[in-house]
Structure 1
Amino acid sequence: MTSRFWITAAFAAALLASCSGVSAGGGKANAAGCNPGEALSQSDAGLDQVRLCITSGKKVHAFTVEIARTSQQQARGLMFRNAVADDKGMVFPFTETRMASFWMKNTFIPLDIIFVRADGSIENIAMNTIPYSTDPVESTAPVAAVLELRGGLTAELGIKAGDKVRWTAK
């Protein structure tokens, strides 16, 4: 067989792999390099970090997120930060599904606040929340977690309600 055949076969295999996405179980790595739940080193703030993946249509977006587990960590959130990188964020897992309400007091930058159902689907997104505001930013139904990303990023990436969020908090 010719080298052209092997190059074409390799390209086809790579193309198929890039479309495979992340499995529902969340353990499979994909072409985007997203392995949800992959444990990472602690953040500068001393919080555990994991890999989180959002599947939006055929695209998979990978993020390194800090896990705000305790009530103190959740109360502080991303307050007092001057920036959030495009591939970073913070996840707030809850022990039970509930209505969630956040505010932006002492938060210097706009955030996209993503409310996540127990099945990992996005319930709703509050985009570009207003820094320093004490107005409540709320879920539209009970959720199992909240994810905060840089303000405007969800619109730029096409992330929307119904998309799937995968991570494993270790």
Structure 2
Amino acid sequence: MNIICEKAVSVAVRWIMAAAILSIIPSEPRAESLRCPSLRISFLADSNFHGASFDAYLADDASERSAGLMGFGSFPKHQAMLFDFTREREVGFWMKNTLIPLDMIFLSREGKIVKIHGNAIPHDETTIRSPFPVRYVLEINGGLSRQLGLTEGLQARSADLPEKYSAGRFCLNQ
């Protein structure tokens, strides 16, 4: 009789654990719940760089900025998330609930790359800080900034920022 009770308890514990795990997994992947990428961010070519462009999701409120790319199991190569902090300030990120490695590209108000933190480690709780105040942070797939040749000092352009950003738009459309 003890063996039957032990098996029943074992099965019950497995069901409870499975239910607990399923309760913390979002019913729809975060990537599908986001709006379509709404911005085109381009880094200009120069003598040492061939240029690169990304279709970016805009994270411009506290809720979107705090969620970021958490829960994404993958991310298309030329997509990104642009965090807009509305004014320059020191910012920090962590990877606690992020499933994929990311490059964090810290941008000035004018869109100039001031720092690149490459290959941030998934689930790492270490804070990744801007070296000084920045307006934007662009997150892309881990290792991609190195693969594309992105470096500090390169200039980003976007003509797609919404009208409410016109005063802070970096590198106005030429």
Say if 2:33 is the partner of 1:45: yes
> Given residue 161 of structure 2, which amino acid in structure 1 is its aligned partner?
A
Instruction: Name the SS of the counterpart of 1:128 in structure 2.
Output: strand
2:103 paired residue among 99, 102, 112: 112
> Given residue 47 of structure 1, which amino acid in structure 2 is its aligned partner?
R
TM-score normalised over the length of structure 1: 0.71
Unpaired runs of 5+ in structure 2?
Answer: 1-30, 163-174
1:79 paired residue among 57, 63, 70: 70
- 1:1-170 mapped onto 2 (5 Å cutoff): 44-47=32-35, 49-58=38-47, 59-167=50-158, 168-170=160-162
Shift of 1:138: 1.0
Distance 1:165 1:129 in 2: 21
Shift of 1:60: 2.0
Deviations 1:8-66 (A, max 9, x none): xxxxxxxxxxxxxxxxxxxxxxxxxxxxxxxxxxx733335111111242522111000
Distance 1:165 1:154 in 2: 13
Structure 1 stretch displaced more, 57-66 or 128-137: 57-66
Distance 1:84 1:46 in 2: 13
Deviations 1:87-114 (A, max 9, x none): 1010001111001100001000100000
Contact 1:56 1:160 in 2 (8 A): no
Question: Which structure carries more helix by proportion?
Answer: 2
Instruction: Name the SS of the counterpart of 1:72 in structure 2.
Output: helix
CA RMSD of aligned residues (A): 1.4
From the CA coordinates, give the structure whose radius of gyration is larger. 2
Runs of 4+ aligned structure 1 residues displaced above 4 Å come to none
TM-score normalised over the length of structure 2: 0.70
Determine what percentage of the aligned residue pairs are the same residue.
33
How many residue pairs get aligned? The number is 128
